Amino acid sequence: MSAPTPGRIYQWTDLTQMQTIRAEVCVIGSGCGGATLARQLAMAGHDVVVLERGGYYPESTFDQSELGMNAKLSADRSMRASADGGTLLLSGNNVGGASVHYWADSYRTPDDRLQLWADRYGVTGHDAAALAPAWDEITATLNVHPATEEYHNRMNQLLRAGAEQLGWEGHPVPQARKGCVKSGHCMQGCMYRAKQSQLVTHIPQAVAHGARVYADVEARELVWEGGKVKALHARVVHRPSNRVSDIALTIEAKAFVLAAGGYYSAPFLMRQDGLQSQLPMLGKQFGMNPTAMVHGLYDEDIVLWRNIPAAFGVEHFRLAKFDEAGAYVEGGYLLMANQIQPGLLGSMMPVMGDELGQWMSQLPRIGGTIAWIDDPADELGELRLAKDGTPKVHYPYGPLTQAILRDTIKKQAQLQFAVGARKLMVAGADALQLNSPADIDKIDQLEIRAGGLFMAAPHPAGGCVMGRSAKDSVTDSSHRVHGFDNLFVADSSVFPTPVSVDPSFTIMAFSYVAAEHVRQHLG
């Protein structure tokens, strides 16, 4: 068999005139979902086109600058917030998606979560046995392995020591790296090709098998008739200004796969004429793993911004615990060491003037932890469209969610004091500082909503949830959008609830399943 003809990555400078692009499959988005699915289909011999609204930035263009790389790799320069202004919404805006700035944590979906999705939401064909072959292959492709001792920076060492001292279960985090040099610039993109993001794995593998990737292209409007999508209208984005140009592209394909990510896939469908009424669950059942952070000042150098971010994870509290009466007790989150570069760390300190100077003058001795909450299934939020068509996240921060967040802060404080922190600062508007374990109860008075805490949300899920019918979901278990023959979704927006661990590995495994259904459709 002859080698496939390689594809190509096109950029805005290549797209200077209107044109029609034809393929078997059009994939919208190039992150963990879109890139993985494109790879699978291209390697199976299908003609695949991938559209990416963001730019193409090969690792040779990375410079480890906080400000510059944030502009390249993060949608809206990480300045987009939830509707109440209280939570930063983090997502990718580049070829490779959020995987280019993610931490590379690579957890397989817990069995209990897959069972929940099957039992409560009617998801089929996505149990552990069905996903295991995908995980095995991705593990090899991305070199996923538990973080070894040399990749435990001082904060990860303290996290592990504290967990052992307190009797909390934890393990080295499975992570996708090869030849890591411990630079600590994971969130600025890995210029060393060590982090096995989609940019250096599935995207080039797809291109090597003929896939064509169009960066700087915004998908706009689907054209369909009788449940069959015939074409997609798109526009070229002028990268220097980040504005949509007048250069129009039309993509004609036999199958269309939406993989724009948890913050964008549902809004894309919501903007299509008539789909919101046809699919009432569009935008609903939305989670985002809000995170609370605690900074600590130590008597030793921590150097928070070197080595890999999360080498050790405390999984003891992954599932929330309730008493016999159903009242919340504790848990519902993962606890990890934080990693923040100096500029961002300074901006997150909720103090000013001399007090900020006192903290930052001891910068190498500042450590920190972070907790990713498992959004309660009965307190999920919703994606809506603003008048201009941009997506808005409405997240309720219900009573259970607030209780979980407070518990994450208490556990972070308990652990950091146990391993020698002199004082702690909770990242939030009130600049709450704790000087000893006796101060931990002050956390009960923290305002959670609308900026009371500084929170980021890096793991959106839902909005195009998978389920039984159009009454309770947007897609079926074949990843097809209800009512359509050739429109699929392959990203975290299909998850009925958040995953309870980093979702990247789940997204990729689900994309293997989606790719198989697309292949069956193509015949």
In tens, the pLDDT along 328-371 reads 999 999 999 999 999 989 888 888 899 999 999 999 999 999 99
**Count, residues in the chain:** 523
Query: Can you give the pLDDT at residue 447?
Result: 85
List phi, psi (to 5°) of 22: -115, 140
Rounded Cα gap, residues 487 and 518, in angstroms: 9
Q: How far is CA 409 from CA 156, 333, 356, in A?
A: 17, 11, 21
pTM: 0.97
CA atoms within 13 A on the CB side of 6: 8
Within 306-437, strands assigned E span 312-314, 321-322, 328-330, 333-337, 366-373, 382-385, 391-394, 423-426, 433-434
Using alpha carbons only, what angle is made at residue 376 by residues 462 and 439, rounded to the nearest 5 degrees? Answer: 130
Alpha-carbon Rg for the chain in angstroms: 22
Q: How far is CA 248 from CA 47, 56, 234, in A?
A: 21, 19, 6
Rounded Cα gap, residues 405 and 293, in angstroms: 10
Query: Can you give the pLDDT at residue 2?
Result: 60
Rounded Cα gap, residues 349 and 342, in angstroms: 11
> Amino acid identity of 250?
T
**Both structure tokens of 244:** 């949509």
> Amino acid identity of 144?
V
CB neighbourhood size of 400 (10 A):
17
- Where would I find the H helices in 81-201? 111-121, 128-141, 154-166
At 469-508, the pLDDT tens digits run 999 999 999 999 999 999 999 999 999 999 999 999 999 9
**Both structure tokens of 103:** 């931490």
As a three-state string, the secondary structure of 234-268 is EEEEECCCCEEEEEEEEEECCEEEECCCCCCHHHH
> Amino acid identity of 79?
M
Query: Can you give the pLDDT at residue 450?
Result: 65
DSSP structural state of residue 91: -
Rounded Cα gap, residues 465 and 219, in angstroms: 21
Query: Can you give the pLDDT at residue 1?
Result: 47
Delimit the domains of the chain by residue range: 8-56+94-102+107-141+197-273+499-522, 146-186+289-457
- Where would I find the H helices in 44-90? 66-73
Query: Can you give the pLDDT at residue 178?
Result: 98
Q: At what angle do helices 399-418 and 154-166 cross, to 10 degrees?
A: 100
Query: 449, 249 in Cβ contact below 8 A?
Result: no
User: Any residues with CB less than 8 A from the CB of 39 and at least 6 apart, and which?
Assistant: 202, 203, 205, 206, 209, 211
Rounded Cα gap, residues 108 and 56, in angstroms: 29
DSSP structural state of residue 209: T
**Number of helical H runs and strand E runs in the chain:** 12, 25
CA atoms within 13 A on the CB side of 246: 0
> Residues 439-461, buried b or exposed e (16+ Cβ, 10 A)?
ebebbeebebeebbbbbbbbbbb
pLDDT 10s digit of each residue in the chain, 523 long? 467 788 999 999 999 999 999 999 999 999 999 999 999 999 999 999 999 999 999 999 999 999 999 999 999 888 899 999 889 999 999 999 999 999 999 999 999 999 999 999 999 999 999 999 999 999 999 999 999 999 999 999 999 999 999 999 999 999 999 999 999 999 999 999 999 999 999 999 999 999 999 999 999 999 999 999 999 999 999 999 999 999 999 999 999 999 999 999 999 999 999 999 999 999 999 999 999 999 999 999 999 999 999 999 999 999 999 999 999 999 999 999 999 999 989 888 888 899 999 999 999 999 999 999 999 999 999 999 999 999 999 999 999 999 999 999 999 999 999 999 999 999 887 789 999 999 999 999 888 876 678 899 999 999 999 999 999 999 999 999 999 999 999 999 999 999 999 999 999 999 999 999 999 999 9
CATH number of 146-186+289-457: 3.30.560
Query: 265, 463 in Cβ contact below 8 A?
Result: yes
Given the DSSP bridges, would you call strands 321-322 and 328-330 parallel, antiparallel or unpaired? antiparallel
The structure tokens 């090969």 sit at: 58
User: Any residues with CB less than 8 A from the CB of 215 and at least 6 apart, and which?
Assistant: 9, 10, 11, 12, 52, 54, 55, 56, 94, 95
Rounded Cα gap, residues 24 and 7, in angstroms: 14
Is 3.50.50.60 the CATH number for 8-56+94-102+107-141+197-273+499-522?
Answer: yes
List phi, psi (to 5°) of 92: -85, 160
